[in-house]
Amino acid sequence: MSAAQIDALAATVGDLRSLLGSDARALALRRALMEGSLGALPAKVPGVSESVLGPLRGSLVLPSVRISSMLEAEDGTTKWALEFGDGQSAETVLIPSRTRATVCVSSQSGCTRSCAFCATATLGFRRHLTAGEIVHQYLVARDAAAQAGLEASNVVFMGMGEPLDNLDAVLLAARSLTDVFPGLSPRRVTVSTSGVVPRMARFLRESRASLALSLNASDDATRTKIMPHNRTWPLASIVKVLREASSERPRRYFVEYVQLPGVNDTAEDAARIAELLRGLDVHVNVIPHNPFPGSPFRAPAREDTLRFHDQVKAQGLTGIIRWPRGRDVSGACGQLALRA
């Protein structure tokens, strides 16, 4: 995108005010972008005259996106494969609950990491997504949720990709999602990371969104086997960033822990997790591994997940079990690999 072009779905009311010279016009255009037809700027924007908007039309860039597939799981979870203008694709998942819905967005096509328990790693890295392409994913899922009478009030950056390797776009997308339209609470936007230490510190300085650490092991040796980049940023360096940020202002972190049977789910692991995170305000989510073709790991038995979760709670840690959603359409955590 050239300097003269504007990523329209990433532009906040404040950004548009500087272009349009008016709060009212900025609000009107932002509403039209967020609530109008996806992929196209309306022919007319109520409240913005064409004499003002016309000269800007060529600069406002909307992502070129088409839905190449949509699959609905038995539990109501919906997965879309979105193809962008250059032919690259990413997946988006809508996870409904009784009163609201969570949208899981991708930040990359493919992924820059090689986590052994994740199907996306089998794709390799294709490219970063723009902020507008990330926001577009939310709008697709939001509109589908609305048709089911649900509010898409939560967004998690836990789809394809390592969000902090695409930090500039992720910060812009999170800022857009929490702007007046669509107006999500920053507490309900969560960005996950496998532990990219330099960018974690920047994210915690610059964003009001929540941070989730994909931990998945209680010691460096195990973590390096399943997450090779741990050699670069071992556990101590990751936790140090969290402690330093918490010392500047209190904040809660989410910790994601994919349970791999016989690999990282012993009572000793639970004790080490608690020692590693001691003094931090954390919410630990135990995630039973979701298998995929070629995965070297099996799914844990339900009783083993309950046992390990009890062991984690016994250490004084709070959290839940994130039971699989959308597994039958390869839409569960760790299964996104553009498979139909």
The catalytic residues are 91, 333
Q: Are 138 and 152 in contact (CB under 8 A)?
A: yes
Residues in CB range of 156: below 8 A, 6 or more apart? 102, 103, 104, 105, 189, 190, 192, 212
CA distance 152 to 214: 23
Nearest to 207 by CA among 195, 181, 189: 189
Q: Residue 136 phi/psi, 5° resolution? A: -55, -40
Phi, psi values for residue 263, rounded to 5°: -115, -45
CB atoms within 10 A of CB 246: 17
Closest Cα to residue 9, out of 191, 179, 210, 190?
179
**Residue 69 and residue 340 in contact, taking contact as beta carbons nearer than 8 Å:** yes
